[in-house]
Amino acid sequence: MTEGVQGSAGFAGSVEKEGARGLGVMPSATGLATGSGTGLASGSATGSATGEGVVGSETLDPGFKYEVAARPGGENIKACFACGVCTAGCPVAEIDPQYNPRRIIRMVLLGLRREVLSSDIIWLCTSCFTCYAHCPQDVKFTDVMKVLREMAVEEGYVHPSFPSRIEALDEAAQRIRREMAVELVSRKAEDATFDLGEVLSGVTRRLGLGRE
């Protein structure tokens, strides 16, 4: 997989690691077999098996990628050559093996419209732009994700108010992270161990996010 990683030498090792995870979407004579690890099924935050086992060709929408590419931010999706740099550097993928930007892109390109737009996993991106910055093909996956979310709303997979809840979550997460960092940094000269749970409780209380 590293042959496709141009100008991203710092990611080479982790790209190989990501490559070993596989796409979870395998072409087959009968259509597209989706493994239980696709992470792109509705019904759970981390994605679970659809139970369908095989997605027949009648479920494919060949126009899906063109619709994504026609929207601002989605223009370069067809340039993806599946190198895996995006997944290798993604902080969400680091903690959730079901989350795989490269696989999401492959599924869009394959036309798995319903599987992608109904998926809970498209809401897990934190818009950190790491993938955006390192993609050798300038796919701008952070923006692609925004396009997929827009389409999910438009097609009724989520309530129109849902994106604002995700935005509120992202803002709260940043505030919590910032406050925790300040607390830890304030004692940076000490040889101290920290109970992160305790620090988190204190910060969430201070921010008015805690529960008594």
Using CB under 6 A as the criterion, which residues of the chain lie in contact with ligand SF4 when the complex forms?
A: 80-86, 89-92, 101-102, 105, 125-131, 135-137, 139, 141-142
Cα 98 to Cα 38: distance, rounded to the nearest angstrom: 7
Nearer to ligand SF4, 141 or 157 (CB): 141
Q: Smallest distance from the beta carbon of 43 to ligand SF4, in angstroms?
A: 21
Nearer to ligand SF4, 153 or 199 (CB): 153
Among 67, 85, 64, residue whose Cα is nearest residue 141: 85
Largest pairwise CA distance in the chain:
63
DSSP helix/strand/coil, 9: helix
CA-to-CA separations, 82 to 58, 70, 98, 152, 199, in angstroms, rounded: 24, 20, 17, 23, 40
Nearer to ligand SF4, 175 or 208 (CB): 175
Q: Smallest distance from the beta carbon of 203 to ligand SF4, in angstroms?
A: 22
The residue type found at 74 is G
- For residues 102 and 25, is the Cβ–Cβ distance under 8 A? no
Q: Smallest distance from the beta carbon of 34 to ligand SF4, in angstroms?
A: 19
Nearer to ligand SF4, 59 or 126 (CB): 126
Task: Tell me the CA end-to-end span of the chain in Å, nearest whole number.
Answer: 50
Nearer to ligand SF4, 4 or 31 (CB): 4
Q: Smallest distance from the beta carbon of 201 to ligand SF4, in angstroms?
A: 26
Q: Smallest distance from the beta carbon of 3 to ligand SF4, in angstroms?
A: 12
